[in-house]
Amino acid sequence: MAGVLVLLSIALITIYFRESSGGGLHQVQSAGATVLRPFEVAADRVSRPFRDAYGYFAGLVHAKSENGRLRRDLDKWRQEATQNAYAASEKTDLLKKLHFVNSRSFPGGYGFVGADIISQPPAAFAQQVVIAAGSASGIRKFDPVVTGEGLVGTVVRVAHNQSLVALLIDDTTSVVALDVKTRAQGIVKAAGRPELDLPARDRDRTGYGGRPERRGSLQAREAAALRGLQDPELRARADPEEPMIADIAKGAAVLFVAAIVQVTLLSQIDVFYGAPDLVLVTLVAVALLRGTIFGAAAGFGAGLVVDTATLQTLGVSSLLLTIAGYWIGRYGETTGRDRSHAPFVSVAVVTLLYSLGALILHYMLGDPASASRVLLDAFPFELIFNLILTLPVYALCRRLFRPPPTGLEEVRLLG
């Protein structure tokens, strides 16, 4: 049976490759694509939110690669913005002072020295500040100190590059002043005890139970066995002539859905040219559970659906999936079906062989194919994706396709 399907796939490839675009197989493929179109549109609409979510998270992953550079740029521009804001504020203040110096209110015969405050009082009761100008700039003791708001204090101590200024809010400070209206001289002192609001300093800011198995009597085990044989599901499984119509219908439905999802949704996932192959993983699970003939037939049908939906050379996917389904089914019938690692080993090996086979076939058909892109770029990510899909897909198929009877139930009855 598997050999017939392989020969049929080769015949399809040969005829499809040799005939013109208006040939019979091309017409059949076009009609099949038309039939599959509504399913593809429905799957596209259903999967659109998932594609949008994937695109969103993929964008986040790509954005993280530039996150460090953008953060550094943000810090740089933020510092420059702060400096610009400070410069603009300082410019406004300097313009006010310049206007005061050039006005008639500025006393004649006096010059001015601009200076910044470099330290503030260590305690609230010491109403003094230190400015960045001293005797080297011409500062003398008792020189008045003004800001854009007016007189604020007087120099009480002078160093070479610094000066100590006593503020007018200090009760012990007094400054000689002249009333510009009456030209009367006097002494300016702070009245009362005004409060000085100084900026606060920055704060520093998760086997089995232990009881041995109790061996029941032979009669009890025989009674349990008889009750099991009365179960209609078990009786159906014990019948070696059970029809496979239900399994064929379930297999066709599962692989058809997998093929539609593959060509509409998963084919758009591209990580270094690698994408998950849901059809291949589903075929591996079905072939492990149902054997060689079922696996080969399922692979042939799934390949036809994929080639028809994607308008590729008819028979290429059928040939590769038929061989994969037969080989995995043979492995399941001999040693691999009951082993927990069997699905993962099968998916890993088949993914590699499928990539090699597809590369060889495309090369023989004259299609452009890059070995480095297929085997070095795409294969590692395709293998990772397929192994991730293996566990949920195999669990679903195991519920749909329960393992066939082994014939050991009667042996256990002889206990």
* Structure tokens, 47: 């999967």
In this predicted structure, the answer to whether residue 215 has a pLDDT above a threshold of 60 is no
Total structural domains within the chain: 2
| CA 285 to chain CA centroid, nearest Å | 28
Q: For residue 17, give its domain range.
A: 2-55+247-403
Residues 162 and 301 in one domain: no
For residue 107, is it within any domain? Answer: no
Q: What pLDDT is stored for residue 123 in this prediction?
A: 54
What are the tokens at 4?
């017939």
Residue 371 lies in a domain: yes
Residue 393 forms part of a structural domain: yes
The residue type found at 296 is A
233 lies in a domain? Answer: no
Instruction: Specify whether 30 is located in the same domain as 133.
Output: no
**Alpha carbon distances (Å) from 260 to 40, 41, 119, 306, 329:** 6, 10, 74, 8, 23
**Rg (the chain; Cα; Å):** 44
What is the CATH classification number for the domain harbouring 395?
1.10.1760
Instruction: Give the pLDDT score at 403.
Output: 60
Residue 390: name the closest of 360, 350, 359, 355 by CA: 350
Are residues 321 and 305 in contact, defined by beta-carbon separation less than 8 angstroms? no
pLDDT score recorded for residue 69: 78
User: DSSP string spanning 41-86?
Assistant: HHHHHHHHHHHHHHHHHHHHHHHHHTHHHHHHHHHHHHHHHHHHHH
Answer yes or no: do 149 and 255 share one domain.
no
Segment holding 274, helix H or strand E: none
- 49 lies in the same domain as 164: no
The 10s digit of each residue's pLDDT in 134-186 is 888 888 888 888 876 677 888 888 888 888 888 877 766 777 777 767 777 77
Query: Would you state the pLDDT for residue 180?
Result: 64
The string of pLDDT tens digits covering residues 10-30 is 888 888 878 887 788 888 888
| 203 band by pLDDT with thresholds 50, 70 and 90 | very low
Residues 260 and 398 in one domain: yes
Say if 92 falls within a structural domain: no
Stronger pLDDT, 179 or 354, i.e. the higher one:
354
220 φ, ψ to 5°?
A: -65, -40
Classified as helix, coil or strand, 177 is strand
Nearest to 133 by CA among 123, 145, 122: 145
pLDDT at position 282:
92
162: domain CATH number?
Answer: 2.40.10.340
The mean predicted confidence, pLDDT, of the chain is 75
214 confidence band (pLDDT: 50, 70, 90): very low
For residue 163, give the H/E element and its range: strand 163-167
177, 273: one domain: no
pTM (global) more than 0.85: no
pLDDT digit string, tens, across residues 139-149: 888 888 887 66
Cβ atoms 321, 347 nearer than 8 A: no
Give the residue from 144, 141, 117, 145 showing the smallest Cα distance to 131: 117
SS3 91: helix
In a domain, 293, yes or no: yes
Quick: pLDDT tens for 69-81.
788 888 888 888 9
322: left (phi over 0), alpha (psi -120 to 50) or beta: alpha
What average pLDDT does the segment 386-411 reach? 74
- Counting DSSP H helices and E strands in the chain, the numbers are 12, 7
Q: Which residue has the tokens 């500040």?
A: 129
Q: Residue 396 pLDDT more than 80?
A: yes
The pLDDT of residue 412 is 46
Is it the case that residue 408 has pLDDT exceeding 70? no
- Confidence at 201, pLDDT banded by 50, 70, 90: very low
Question: Do 255 and 339 share a domain, yes or no?
Answer: yes
Same-domain status, 252 and 385: yes
What residues does 130 pair with on adjacent strands? 119, 164
Q: Is the pLDDT of residue 207 over 70?
A: no
Residue 217 covered by a domain = no
Are 277 and 388 in a shared domain? yes
User: Mean per-residue pLDDT for 205-212?
Assistant: 41
Say which residue, 52 or 141, is predicted with more confidence: 141
Residues 266 and 141 occupy one common structural domain: no
Q: What is the mean pLDDT of residues 390-401?
A: 88
On whether both 174 and 275 belong to a single domain, the answer is no
In a domain? residue 408: no
319 and 389: one domain?
A: yes
